[in-house]
Amino acid sequence: MTGSHLSSLLATVRSLAPRIQASVAECEQSRRIPLPLVEAMTDAGLFRLWLPRSLGGDEADPTTVVRVIEEVSRIDGATGWCLMIAATTCLPGGYVAARTAREMFGAHPHTICAGGWPPFGEAVVVEDGYRVTGRWPLSSGCQHCGWFQAGCRVIGSNGPRLRADGTPVTRIMLLPATSCVILDTWHSAGLRGTGSNDFTVTDVFVPADHTVSFRASPVEPGPLYAFPTIALSAAAIAAVPLGIARHAIDILTEITRVKIARRSQKTLNQSAMVQTDLGRAEGLLRSGRAFLLEALDEAWHVVCAGGRLSVTQRAMLWLAATQATTAATQAVDLMFSAGGTASIYANAGLERCLRDIRTAGQHITLVPSNYEMAGQALLGFDMRTTPLLAMDDRSEE
């Protein structure tokens, strides 16, 4: 992906910024992204960043997508989160048979996907496919999607199918939205506009060619689909907190220019404590972001050269995503504190940044245990059974 294309995508985001900003209150109240904004972002091509070029997508490199998600999240975290979900749920388009990919994406150029990859459902093996039943939580953007992706444990005639190491065989089912029932469960502290409701499926037939496993070889030949898929998703998720933290710094900087401190009767930007907090926040955010982009670039060069990432290199991707989120969260905490009483008012925006980043940081891919996993990898431990690393381990090929 060329620098000019990244510049073009960022210019597109800036052109949509007024519409995104104008939708924030409605997002918070309705708990979803307004359809006119979804349509505008779809028309701009932003929901197809990781779709194969053969299907009309961008098939963009990881750094490009992270920077675009970050820029949207700087305007509104919930919109950035929905963009991230749309990007990551394009990735199965590189793994399924070409006919299925065309059915999902090619026939309907504006198709958007949602769903959950963790195996919360069961897929019973039947002739030519599976009978699927289950309930999946936190399906962000589900109200405006055309297809759902649902992770399942595979159930054979003798019970759950297991791999050689004893772990369950799982697959992701690809289902049209008409097969799924959305439950109104998204009443959240933060990221309220993401519409991250649960959905259910009951005894629905899914053809075998409408399923995918990231452990299998991709159909598309590009380096994007040789990249560890779950680690790639973690980087995209971390881009949202990076954007939210930048927004918080923007807000605090503006507040300090106009707010008068009661004790000194000077504007807050003249306070040594506020200056220190701002400097610390900037350092945290820049360092976390730099580590994430560095880890992505190093991994991208490996896969572009035809190589396979080592366990340690994959663990570093998880560490970078987690550290970026941790640093961004600390930066927002500093900005909320520095703003004093101004921070607690909804119209200032800092309280929303705090709610949104805390909600984003609860995602399973960004949990603190990733630090332990990275440490174990650096110490040479056997990581083959580590759940997150195993999800897209292609050593079984």
CA atoms of 132 and 181, how far apart (whole Å): 13
Q: What is the three-class DSSP state of 1? A: coil
Other CB atoms within a 10 A radius of the CB of residue 106 amount to 18
Residue range 103-111: average pLDDT? 80
Average pLDDT over residues 82-90: 97
Is 1's pLDDT higher than 70? no
- 3-class SS at 390? helix
Is pTM, for the whole model, over 0.75? yes
Task: Name the residue among 185, 175, 243 with its Cα closest to residue 212.
Answer: 175
pLDDT of residue 386: 75
Architecture of domain 3-94: Orthogonal Bundle (1.10)
Class of domain 111-212: mainly beta
Instruction: Quote the CA–CA distance of 297 and 274 in Å, as a whole number.
Output: 34
Query: What is the crossing angle of helices 229-258 and 62-75, to 10°?
Result: 30
Q: CATH 1.20.140.10 residue ranges in the chain?
A: 227-390
Sequence ranges of the chain with CATH classification 2.40.110.10: 111-212
Task: Tell me if 33 sits within 8 A of 193, measured CB to CB.
Answer: yes
CB atoms within 10 A of CB 3: 8
Q: Which one of 3.10.450.240, 3.90.1150.10, 3.40.50.1100, 1.20.140.10 gives the CATH number of domain 227-390?
A: 1.20.140.10
Q: Average of pLDDT values for 53-70?
A: 96
Mean pLDDT value across residues 300-320: 95
Q: What is the pLDDT of residue 79?
A: 98
Q: Where are the alpha helices (DSSP H) in the chain?
A: 3-22, 24-30, 35-43, 62-75, 77-88, 98-101, 229-258, 272-304, 311-338, 350-360, 369-378, 387-390
The pLDDT value given to residue 202: 98
Gap between the Cα atoms of 113 and 89, Å rounded: 6
Task: For CATH 1.10.540.10, list the domain ranges present in the chain.
Answer: 3-94
Residue range 186-210: average pLDDT? Answer: 98
Give the C-alpha distances (Å, rounded to integers) separating 100 from 56, 147, 148, 172.
Answer: 15, 12, 14, 14
* Cβ pair 377, 371 in contact under 8 A: no
Q: How far apart are CA 259 and CA 26, in angstroms?
A: 28
**pLDDT confidence of 262, banded at 50, 70, 90?**
confident
Instruction: Tell me: pLDDT of 396 over 50.
Output: no
Q: What is the mean pLDDT of residues 300-323?
A: 95
CB 168 within 8 A of CB 154: yes
Rounded to an integer, what distance in angstroms lies between the CA atom of residue 171 and that of residue 191?
28
